Amino acid sequence: MAEHDQQRRMVLAGMASMAVAPLFGATAQAQVLGSGLTGILGNASDSALDKLAQPGAFYNDSAVRILLPLVGNAGGLGGALGSVLGAGDRLGLTDGITRKLNDAAGLAAKEAKPIFRAAISRLSLNDVPGIVSQNDGASQYLRRSAGAELTGKMRPLINAALGKVGAFNQLDSLSRRSSLISAAGITRDKLGNSVTDQALNGIFKYIGSEEGRLRANPAGTAGSLLKGILGN
């Protein structure tokens, strides 16, 4: 059924392209499609970041909660250390470092709108059939085409937020109290990388959900055309 729906949307996309091209020309058609998709994606990213910027949003949603590096890895020192730190965190023995990581991700999300908007504005939507065939197609396209750029620009925001909420200081304190942390190689740099990657995973998960919601009820001229193309 899912494959049938995808094929149906791609056929409808092709039919819409043929119908629109004679009326507006290929350039105008591409502009309308691009405007519709980037508009939806821009609104989806804004909405997702607004939600994740709310206090406790990352931590309270287990689907996007930021975890300490190595937590959940199976076997070896990394897995054992992750289990110890995770248990200690839940018992309040590590001064809530996991909560600090999630608070930092929320602070970074609050500052990230311009970064995502800039990346979205530079998308060249050459793969329209693939984008319109999935409810989160534009979000996936953004991640494929601008993922490295977004990671690089999010990292300074994450670092600043980790410092602001005290996560780096807490890591230093834990390192002084336990040789296991340094033995496992959990440094400030590694922590920053891990939180950045996890935060972006959560942001894209939310953007994809918001994109699907907006696709189901697009508004405006470009949105109306997009709605017809999507076959919703």
pTM assigned to the model? 0.75
The pLDDT assigned to 126 comes to: 66
| Residues 73 and 33: beta-carbon distance below 8 Å | no
Number of separate helices (H) and strands (E) present in the chain: 11, 0
Are 56 and 62 within 8 A, CB to CB? no
Domain layout of the chain by residue ranges: 42-217
Cβ(41)–Cβ(120) below 8 Å: yes
**pLDDT computed for residue 90 by the predictor:** 58
pLDDT values of the chain reduced to their tens digit, one per residue, 232 residues: 554 454 444 334 443 443 443 434 445 444 555 566 778 888 899 999 999 999 999 999 999 999 877 544 433 444 555 555 555 555 454 557 889 999 999 999 999 999 999 998 887 666 666 677 778 888 988 898 899 999 999 999 999 999 999 999 988 887 887 776 777 678 899 899 999 999 999 999 999 999 888 877 755 444 554 555 444 4
CA separation, residue 108 to residues 11, 113, 126, 220 (Å): 40, 10, 31, 31
Helices (H), the chain: 2-52, 57-60, 76-90, 97-111, 113-121, 128-132, 137-165, 167-177, 179-183, 188-215, 220-230
Residue pair 52/206 in contact by the 8 Å Cβ criterion: yes
